[in-house]
Amino acid sequence: MTASLHSELVLPCGAILPNRIAKAAMTEGMADVKDNPTQALANLYHTWSEGGAGLLITGNVMIDRRYLERPGNVVLEDDQAMPALRRWAAAGTAAGNHLWMQISHPGRQCARIVSSQPVSPSDVQLKMLGNFAQPRAMTQAEIEAAIAGYARTATLAKEGGFTGVQIHAAHGYLISQFLSPTTNRRSDDWGGSLEHRARFLLRVVAAVREAVGSEFPIGVKLNSADFQRGGFSLEDSAQVASWLSEAGIDLLEISGGTYEQLRLLGHGDDDSQDRDVRQSTRQREAYFLDYAQRIRQSCSVPLMVTGGFRSRLTMTEALANEELEVIGLARPLCGDPVIARYLIGGQVDYAPAYEQDLKLGTGLLGPASPIPLFKVINVQGEVAWFYHQMLQLAQLKSPERGLTVLPAFLKHMAREYFIGFRRRWHLRGS
């Protein structure tokens, strides 16, 4: 039977997604000063639950409070915030949908405002305008502790009422750093060959599965490629996907890029990896779909593809052609939280892209500017625009589409530093 947007999906573990649209992970930054979930998160996810998507995936929930992806991340190391966690889970499943917690460790992608001593597989620094400190290579004991941390956080997510977890192995975070030869230069059992570089991810999956049991959904978010010369390639990704299939995961989300190559945001420069992909991928909306087809040949796990989907026609064709099983949407749900319901019901043909609202700069001030500072401001300003809409929804307000990129960027940075310094002050006093 041909799948459609409203079709159910039975996952390998037996869990059933009520339809084929998923709200993909977007970092929220809405934790309190103790890194615990807040009412704002409950409000936001209740709104999205009522919006019609069959699966909601949270933004980064960190396994170790020493290392955050950004100020305001929720950290789940113990059960001290279980009541708040349960409120979040109840709100996010109010309409009968699934709510999965994305569990993560930033590795070297841990900004100075959070930590000046990040860790990574190797001591390869992320050089972005001085915002990231030199990482220290992890010891064997730290690697084992991190594996246990993923399992601990997954267990707490299950106890808190979340219906699944997604292990973040993409976008240049810690697991992605282990997978990529550009950031993993180890010569022990955790580095070198792809089999050794994938050991950390496969150990995490095994530990999480043992912790949560066979009937609890486990997803993995994996890069199709790093889009960096000498980095994690499409062929690498296909092989890792095959191993993940054998490991018994339930849903594999395909994305791509890192902080240095922002394909996850639709930006980034062409590099050697891109030459292997059809020109049509650059011209159409679903810019990771072609990569997913190569990966599908290597594994039998249901696939979710996130990145650029906008038209209902493209979504339905991808499902009908069995190119994937789940459509991932992120930014469209920031400006229109019920867009999934309308797409599934056929009331609309397009998810909004908001290009007119964004009013991005042009020329030297555009996202492709050769001046690094301007490029960063525009790319981060674009992210900040969508983040502002999330804050509006979390405050039970309507999206503010009149906001332009530069004010969004300035508001976002002011809030980030305020939250970061407030958290540091709290940690010093505790």
pLDDT, tens digit (0-9, with 9 covering 90-100), for 14-70: 999 999 999 999 999 999 999 999 999 999 999 999 999 999 999 999 999 999 999
Mean pLDDT of the chain: 89
Query: Which residues lie below 8 Å from residue 126, measured CB to CB, with a gap of 6+?
Result: 108, 109, 132, 135, 172, 259, 260
Report whether 225 contacts 256 (CB < 8 A).
yes
Closest CA to 335 of 347, 348, 352: 352
Checking if the pLDDT of 336 tops 90, the result is yes
In this prediction, residue 284 carries a pLDDT of 55
Length of the chain as a residue count: 430
E strands within 27-143? 55-62, 74-75, 98-104, 119-120, 136-137
Q: Residue 387 in contact with residue 393, Cβ under 8 Å?
A: no
pLDDT 10s digits, 57-102: 999 999 999 999 999 999 999 999 999 999 999 999 999 999 999 9
CA 282, CA 256: separation in Å to the nearest integer?
Answer: 14
pLDDT(286) > 80 = no
Confidence (pLDDT) at 380 = 82
Q: Among 157-161, 325-329, 376-380, which stretch is predicted with the lowest mean pLDDT?
A: 376-380
Q: Is the pLDDT of residue 214 over 80?
A: yes
* Structure-token pair, residue 288: 């990771």
DSSP-based three-state secondary structure for 23: strand
User: Could you tell me the residue ranges of all domains in the chain?
Assistant: 9-352, 354-430
d(Cα 117, Cα 170) in Å, to the nearest integer? Answer: 22
Over the stretch 172-206, which tens digit does the pLDDT of each residue have?
A: 999 999 999 999 999 999 999 999 999 999 999 99
Per-residue model confidence (pLDDT) at position 130: 72
Paired residues of 253 in beta bridges: 221, 304
Q: Which of 264, 338, 347, 391 is nearest to 21 (CA)?
A: 338
Grade residue 267 by pLDDT with cuts at 50, 70 and 90. Answer: very low
Residue 166 has pLDDT above 70, yes or no: yes
- Alpha carbon 293 to chain centroid distance? 20
Mean pLDDT of 372-376: 71
Other residues' Cβ atoms within 10 Å of the Cβ of residue 16: 11
- Which amino acid does the sequence have at 421? F
- Mean pLDDT in residue range 235-243: 95
Task: Note the pLDDT tens digit of each residue in 117-133.
Answer: 999 999 999 877 678 88
CA dihedral 64→380→251→153, nearest 10 degrees, is 10
Confidence check: pLDDT of 312 > 60: yes
**106 closest CA partner among 62, 138, 145, 149:** 62
CATH number of the 9-352 domain: 3.20.20.70
Most confidently predicted of 133-142, 227-236, 417-426:
133-142
DSSP, residue by residue, 203-241: HHHHHHHHHH-TTS-EEEEEES---STTSS-HHHHHHHH
Looking at residue 261, its pLDDT comes to: 53
